[in-house]
């Protein structure tokens, strides 16, 4: 529909243009009964060219008119197409950006894991160097395994277990909520 309007507009502009394709202008005659002295006299010679009828348009108006004529779309349709194009561009950028961020996070996690493993390797290297000393091996065997040299008498000291705390008459029993103890004290019921 927009295309047919622009074609009609162009056809009108061509016919209203420089006078091409028109019949020559007829001389004006005064109606009968009009006074002859009121007419203005014209100089002899060819009649002056008629001014061209043109529409004054701004640059933006020309661009809109050309775009409407070329695409044949209304402004709403153009806006919808523009929104679709913007969404498509956003989606094409979003997936690689998501992959980039995920890879950066994975790289940071792997770097942290690598540093932790390097620290563990250093610790194990120092333990290996310490355990290569025979005196350290002997001390570990005595303390951890309870080994003795031939001819030595081992003594194992066992400490008695600490006594369980006794419940006095005003204290709560372990594992019994305080409100049970309070209720028993108020009612005078025996403790269970």
At 171 the pLDDT is 62
For 79-105, the pLDDT digits (tens) are: 999 999 999 999 999 999 999 999 999
Q: Which two tokens stand for residue 76?
A: 């709403």
Q: What's residue 179's pLDDT?
A: 84
CA distance 106 to 115: 14
Residue with tokens 């894991």: 113
Taking the C-alpha atoms of residue 55 and residue 140, their distance in angstroms, rounded to an integer, is: 105
Mean pLDDT of the chain: 77
**Highest-confidence range of 17-26, 113-122, 155-164, by mean pLDDT?**
113-122
Predicted pLDDT at 18: 47
94/100 Cα distance (integer angstroms): 10
Q: Tokens in use for 164?
A: 């369980």
End-to-end CA distance of the chain, in Å?
A: 97
Q: Tokens representing 102?
A: 């995920």
State yes or no: pLDDT of 133 exceeds 60: yes
Residue 85 pLDDT = 95
Whether 154 and 146 have beta carbons less than 8 Å apart is answered as yes
Number of separate helices (H) and strands (E) present in the chain: 5, 0
pTM: 0.35
CB atoms within 10 A of CB 142: 14
- Helix or strand holding residue 112 (H, E): helix 75-131
Confidence class for position 52, pLDDT limits 50, 70, 90: low
C-beta of residue 137 within 8 angstroms of C-beta of residue 131:
yes
């Amino acid at each position: 529909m927009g295309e047919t309007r622009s074609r009609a507009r162009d056809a009108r502009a061509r016919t209203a243009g420089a006078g091409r394709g028109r019949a020559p202008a007829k001389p004006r005659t005064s109606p009968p009964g009009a006074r002859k002295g009121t007419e203005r006299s014209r100089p002899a010679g060819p009649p002056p060219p008629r001014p061209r009828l043109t529409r004054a348009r701004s640059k933006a108006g020309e661009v809109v008119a050309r775009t409407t004529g070329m695409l044949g779309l209304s402004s709403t349709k153009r806006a919808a197409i523009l929104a679709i194009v913007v969404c498509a561009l956003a989606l094409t950028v979003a997936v690689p950006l998501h992959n980039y961020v995920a890879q950066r996070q994975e790289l940071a996690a792997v770097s942290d894991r690598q540093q932790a493993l390097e620290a563990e390797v250093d610790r194990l290297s120092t333990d290996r160097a310490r355990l290569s000393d025979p005196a350290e091996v002997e001390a570990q065997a005595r303390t951890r395994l309870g080994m003795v040299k031939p001819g030595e008498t081992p003594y194992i000291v066992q400490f008695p277990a600490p006594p369980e705390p006794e419940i006095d008459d005003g204290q709560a029993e372990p594992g019994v909520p305080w409100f049970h103890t309070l209720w028993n004290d108020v009612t005078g019921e025996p403790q269970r």
